[in-house]
Structure 1
Amino acid sequence: MSGTELKPPLDGIRVIDLTRVLSGPFCSMLLGDMGAEVIKIESPGGDPVRGQGHHKNGFSWYFAGFNRNKKSVVLDLYSDEGRTDLARLLETADVLVENFRPGVLGRMGFPPERLEEINPRLVVASVNGFGSTGPYTDRPAFDFIAQAMSGFMSVNGPEGEPPLRAAQPVTDLVAGLYTAFGIVSALHGRNRDGVGQAVETSMVNGVLSMMAYLASEHFVTGENPQRTGNDHPLVAPYGLYNTADGQIAISPSNDQVLGRLLAEIGLPDLLSDPRFDSNDKRFARRDELHGILDAALASDTRENWILRLNRAGVPTGKIQTLKEVFADPQIQAQEMAIDVPHGDERGTVRMLGFPVKLSRTPCAARLPAPRLGEHTEEVLAALREGQVTGGR
């Protein structure tokens, strides 16, 4: 059987998506990319992101980039009719995803006990700022706040300078990734045990878990990690170095790789120099070491060093703008920018491709990002005519 004849891994899974903005829509898009049917429930005003970012042909490409492979159904969840329609949809669903503050869904009339009554096989996934327990449960949260309160922001920025926010909304994206992982894990458990369960990820917990070795060092020493800019907080040399015509990023991961770097740049004896013969010594004198490497690398161009050092087995690259990234033959070979026809006045929308590559059932943009309420009549008519079955 060829790959085109196989169904996507989440084919047959119905997801009711109550999320908006970023963390939740990113999660549900990942499920849709893997073949799930995602029904995005929107208020009559729509997801706020529909009005954000640059528009082309009257359409937000920002919205499109996080909402492909979804159907849009408009429901007023503050009306009896809207809540009734949602309850009937949940009877047919496998997954519910929401990113309200804890307790909001219950106040809408869908507390955990009612959800279990409606559909005991339902996997109920929540993405929020701080989690549903603890003193900060009711606080509003956006990425900037989560970066600040997770410790993530405290380690970003140049040494001796104030903390910096990561330029991308990492806490939203990490929370979305973890929630998608939790959902597919809960679905697997349901296949074994026959019942659904709740899945929760918070933006703070998600990005805190990415602090990994910095947290481990803190647990050992009791000290706070310091900001080191582009240098590694534990390893030297590591960072950006000057060549004859621009900077390159070099990350020797161990003494063996460092030896190859030093040999290639004409400093083969530096690793045995008593100033630099251990990582601890190199880290303590990393500014001095950085200057020595800069002087050696000034002998050739950036592109030549990238070729030479990679050929020698030393991880090396250049800082690329997004324009350069999408012109890069490696990125093009990986199809990380795709054009998705929208079949109307919106034309073709370019968006990021699929970072996960499946050999037999590759991800695909089966549906373009929907217009507001585009599928309301279709989905509700099928529901009322009994053309869908209960959650599997």
Structure 2
Amino acid sequence: MNVTPDPAVAPLAGLRVVDLSSTLPGAQFSQFFADAGADVIMVEPPGGSPVRDYPGWPGLLRSRRSITLDVHDDSDRDVLRGLLAEADVMVSTMRPSTAERLGMTAERLSADYPRLVVASITGWGSNSPWSHYKGYEGLVMAKAGVLHNKRQLTSRPGPAYVSVPYASWGAAQCAVHGVLAALHERERSGHGQVVESNLVLGIGAMDPYNWFYEMVLERYPGAYTPQDVAYDDQGRPAAPLLFALLIAPSSDGTWLQFAQTAPRLMQAWLTELGLIEWLADPKWKGFPVLEDPDLRQEFWWEMISRVGQRSLAEWQEAFERNPDVSAEVFRTPTGAFEHPQVVHEGRAITVEHPVLGPVKQPSTQIQVNGRPLTEPTAAPMPGDHSAELRALAAAATPLGSSTDASSGLPLDGITILEFGVMFAGPYGATLLTDLGARVIKIEEAGGDNIRVLVPFPEAGGAKVLQGKESVVVDLRSEEGQAIVHELVKGVDVVLQCFRAGAAKRTRVDEETLKSIKPDLVYISAVGYGVDGPYGARPAYAPSVGAAMGLASVDGRGRNDTPHSDEEIRNGARTLHAANAVPVAQADGVAALGVASTIMLGLYARDRGTSMDGITTTMLGSALGALMHLNNEYDGATSLPVVDEGFWGIHALYRIYPAEDGFVFLAAPKESEWAPLVTALEPYVDLGGDARFATFEARREHDAELTEVLAGIFGKRAKLEWENELQSQDVGCVEVTERNSEGLLQSDEYYEAGYSVDAVSPIFDEHRRIAPVLHFSRSATKADAGCTIGQHTDSVLGEFGYSAEQLGDFRKRGVIA
């Protein structure tokens, strides 16, 4: 489907971005700006950007201009300076040491280009003890514990390689909303600044609730039984949630992800399966919480078997007949284009490329009024615009100068009114509280369901409620709606995360609220969409991950047709680990995109651009996160797939057992071979082995190289290897065998700046994830969560309601 949007809507038209990045998160960052109408100039080295090695480069690099420059050459650096002189934004993925060497530090850039906003996206952050380490995704995910969280991707003991670049997406989206916040602040101050994001906090932001679960386990040892794996050592179900989130193949071999998480949905499903009568038997007392692992196994397998008695078509008929039962098909990244909701919204577009021909790819992450934000144009070939951009640089004059000045919180004075539950939409607003936005969360009397998701009071919602004010209002009552309408008069943004039709029923829809405040920025951050065949369905992270291909990528295609009971058991376990482990899943992917969407709406308003129907969905964000893979065109290449054992993708980018655990080696580039050979000379003569003499030979003899390296790494401790190889700038780290959410609040990672102190009404003093951004001028803050309705009286009093009115409202259940 090709849709032509109204070019007047392009919110960043006239904004210039210079992209110096050479890695995936930089490309994802600048793609967002290009899709929003900015003039993105891509600076490529001779030979082209490494991003072009991704099969999805036509989508990642679309709608921009390309110039070839060697930034190590003095004359080319002069051209770069000319481009930066009139730029609004620059993005770089250099390590801090490289930026220092090239004279592109925060201090130097601020002095030379006072109005420039710089996005610096690194692996570890500039102030971390590991800031000099290479920023490969695998290194970050290994040391940050994510490969341990995902260990049940494989049946062998130990960590497992994660294929979806969650950390890159996280760091890129953090940089997007950080830069837009800095541009918003520039409207007041006239000053640019450097905004830093990193992959460690990019992945740390994704977990919806496990941070506080890990904290509770640490605080109260022995009080709770840790349940951080879905299956026990014998492959039996260990978590009650597996019954609600059942993964099973149909009779014709199509894997389905169910999501019957509410009690009424589970009852409807068990009735559909003919299993509701089983619960009358005392044998199953307490279901879904069954203490006996053999009973859990029996019930789980019976459910799988009954799913397997019907074909996909028969199940789809059941879903049409019974709206309380639903499932998503596990699709590949390109198979996601055929999803009915994707088709309905026109989220799969075809862009004609002058060299490649037609390229099918996802449309823009954000839509307006049901259409793409802009109409993407074909990605350039390397240096396509070199001549015109060199002329532009030569004629450039600086945008203006100003003296540097410190700043407060970049979003100071901005108020967001939030209508939403759980994580994907609301956490987008949470991220902006760290930048100074005030977020007033409207809750029902019982509170957001995420508050009770973890069996410890408030632990489930503590992360998503950080920095917010909770106001309990009955939106089903006319008086409650009138209260909300009064609040709208004093806010800048409304964020609504309801299923299709719900906002209109409660009179918090865009038309109603903009009639009260015409310049309101109204964002719909929903699961499937604001209308369409799936718009009214509840969206859960496992459902979206299955539907859009996240699970297929992380699960090594284990969604292929199974041919035995063993393949069904193994496939179900792998797909669950690929799809539903909290540390990295579709909820986090979407939440980070929501923050970017809110900031785009705000900055568009700053620039006098009115946008209606701003919509971001979990489906659209998941499609965008896989843009590096999900382009279809003749001659498209494919990336290496993780090996059967989930160790890695080849000998030079994988996990190896060490004497006391595991290490991750990352030396995939041709230029990294010689340093690796030198570093390992005391242990093996790799340079003298003809099998490994060239890049092509190493690929041909990958299994032999793996065997040689495995023999070496197994003889020393993991931190010894990390320290020795990193001292020679070879990418190697320990694989930390602790869940990431607990690790990031440990003393070592707290001292490294990845967590900070906060004080909560529930948890008192505790450590929470650090603000995901660092600004060279602006400040950030790190507040804790709130209790249900904690701010009802103070907020409503601020908006003019008297104590007598509040008492009357409370007596009649309008507020709580």
Normalised-by-shorter TM-score class: 0.7 to 0.9
SS at match of 1:125: strand
Aligned to 1:68: 62
Change in CA separation of 1:109 and 1:298 when aligned onto 2, cut-off 3 Å: closer
Cα distance between partner residues in 1 of 2:335 and 2:371? 30
Cα distance between partner residues in 2 of 1:147 and 1:259? 39
TM-score after normalising by structure 1: 0.86
Aligned to 1:259: 267
Select 2:241's aligned residue among 226, 235, 238. 235
Q: Does 1:93 align with 2:102?
A: no
Aligned to 2:252: 245
Cα distance between partner residues in 2 of 1:212 and 1:64? 32
Cα distance between partner residues in 1 of 2:333 and 2:80? 41
Change in CA separation of 1:98 and 1:286 when aligned onto 2, cut-off 3 Å: farther
TM alignment of 1:129-278, pairs within 5 A: 129-156=123-150, 157-158=152-153, 161=156, 162-222=158-218, 226-228=228-230, 235-237=241-243, 238-246=245-253, 247-270=255-278, 275=284, 277=286
Amino acid aligned to 1:124: V
SS at match of 2:381: coil
Select 1:341's aligned residue among 342, 349, 352. 352
Change in CA separation of 1:286 and 1:167 when aligned onto 2, cut-off 3 Å: farther
Alpha-carbon displacement from aligned partner over 1:43-102 (angstroms, at most 9, x marks no partner): 22321233x35xxxxxxx532231111111122222222222222222211111000112
Amino acid aligned to 2:360: R
Cα distance between partner residues in 2 of 1:89 and 1:361? 32
Cα distance between partner residues in 2 of 1:151 and 1:215? 13
SS at match of 2:197: strand
Cα distance between partner residues in 1 of 2:317 and 2:185? 48
Alpha-carbon displacement from aligned partner over 1:131-183 (angstroms, at most 9, x marks no partner): 11121110012122222222222122248534322332222222222211222
Cα distance between partner residues in 2 of 1:179 and 1:233? 36
Aligned to 2:26: 24
Alpha-carbon displacement from aligned partner over 1:97-124 (angstroms, at most 9, x marks no partner): 0001123223212222221122222211
1:160–1:227 contact (8 Å) kept in structure 2? no
SS at match of 1:357: strand
SS at match of 2:261: coil
1:234–1:283 contact (8 Å) kept in structure 2? no
Cα distance between partner residues in 1 of 2:213 and 2:189? 39
SS at match of 2:361: strand
Change in CA separation of 1:322 and 1:387 when aligned onto 2, cut-off 3 Å: same
User: How far did 1:367 drift?
Assistant: 3.2
Select 2:101's aligned residue among 107, 111, 128. 107
1:341–1:347 contact (8 Å) kept in structure 2? yes
Cα distance between partner residues in 1 of 2:136 and 2:370? 38
Amino acid aligned to 1:357: Q
Number of residue pairs aligned between Structure 1 and Structure 2 = 382
Amino acid aligned to 1:300: R
Change in CA separation of 1:347 and 1:158 when aligned onto 2, cut-off 3 Å: closer
User: How far did 1:234 drift?
Assistant: 6.5
TM-score after normalising by structure 2: 0.43
SS at match of 1:320: coil
Amino acid aligned to 1:165: Y
Amino acid aligned to 1:189: E
Aligned to 2:6: 4
SS at match of 2:384: coil
Aligned to 1:57: none
Cα distance between partner residues in 2 of 1:158 and 1:270? 31
Cα distance between partner residues in 2 of 1:365 and 1:340? 9
User: How far did 1:390 drift?
Assistant: 5.4
Please identify, of 325-334 and 13-22, the stretch whose mean Cα deviation from structure 2 is larger: 325-334
Please identify, of 382-391 and 21-30, the stretch whose mean Cα deviation from structure 2 is larger: 382-391
Cα distance between partner residues in 2 of 1:95 and 1:324? 35
Aligned to 2:385: 375
TM alignment of 1:275-290, pairs within 5 A: 275=284, 277=286, 279-281=288-290, 286-290=296-300
Please identify, of 15-24 and 139-148, the stretch whose mean Cα deviation from structure 2 is larger: 139-148
User: How far did 1:7 drift?
Assistant: 3.7
Change in CA separation of 1:232 and 1:121 when aligned onto 2, cut-off 3 Å: farther
Amino acid aligned to 2:361: M
Please identify, of 188-197 and 13-22, the stretch whose mean Cα deviation from structure 2 is larger: 188-197
User: How far did 1:127 drift?
Assistant: 1.0
SS at match of 2:247: strand
Cα distance between partner residues in 1 of 2:69 and 2:180? 26
SS at match of 1:69: coil
Aligned to 2:46: 44
Cα distance between partner residues in 2 of 1:35 and 1:140? 32
Cα distance between partner residues in 2 of 1:309 and 1:361? 28
Cα distance between partner residues in 2 of 1:242 and 1:282? 26
Cα distance between partner residues in 1 of 2:238 and 2:79? 53
1:244–1:302 contact (8 Å) kept in structure 2? yes
User: How far did 1:306 drift?
Assistant: 3.6
SS at match of 1:341: strand
The structure 1 segments of at least 4 consecutive aligned residues displaced by more than 6 Å after TM superposition are: 229-232
Pick the structure with greater CA Rg: 2
Change in CA separation of 1:283 and 1:30 when aligned onto 2, cut-off 3 Å: farther
Select 1:314's aligned residue among 313, 317, 325. 325
Structure 2: gaps (5+ residues): 219-224, 402-606, 608-816
Cα distance between partner residues in 2 of 1:242 and 1:44? 49
Aligned to 1:127: 121
2:115–2:400 contact (8 Å) kept in structure 1? no
Amino acid aligned to 1:277: G
SS at match of 1:257: helix
Change in CA separation of 1:203 and 1:233 when aligned onto 2, cut-off 3 Å: farther
SS at match of 1:190: helix
Aligned to 1:56: none
Change in CA separation of 1:368 and 1:389 when aligned onto 2, cut-off 3 Å: farther
SS at match of 1:65: helix
Q: Percent identity?
A: 28
Change in CA separation of 1:309 and 1:267 when aligned onto 2, cut-off 3 Å: farther
Cα distance between partner residues in 2 of 1:324 and 1:276? 41
Cα distance between partner residues in 2 of 1:152 and 1:143? 11
Change in CA separation of 1:79 and 1:91 when aligned onto 2, cut-off 3 Å: same
Amino acid aligned to 1:125: A
Cα distance between partner residues in 2 of 1:365 and 1:67? 14
2:345–2:370 contact (8 Å) kept in structure 1? no
Aligned to 2:729: none
Structure 1: gaps (5+ residues): 54-60
2:345–2:371 contact (8 Å) kept in structure 1? no
Cα distance between partner residues in 1 of 2:113 and 2:99? 16
Select 2:366's aligned residue among 356, 361, 366. 356
SS at match of 2:56: helix
2:5–2:373 contact (8 Å) kept in structure 1? no
Amino acid aligned to 2:198: S
SS at match of 2:393: helix
Change in CA separation of 1:316 and 1:168 when aligned onto 2, cut-off 3 Å: same
Alpha-carbon displacement from aligned partner over 1:177-200 (angstroms, at most 9, x marks no partner): 221122222212222333222221
Select 2:36's aligned residue among 34, 37, 48. 34
RMSD: 3.0
Amino acid aligned to 1:166: V
Cα distance between partner residues in 2 of 1:262 and 1:46? 56
Cα distance between partner residues in 2 of 1:99 and 1:263? 53
Change in CA separation of 1:140 and 1:159 when aligned onto 2, cut-off 3 Å: closer
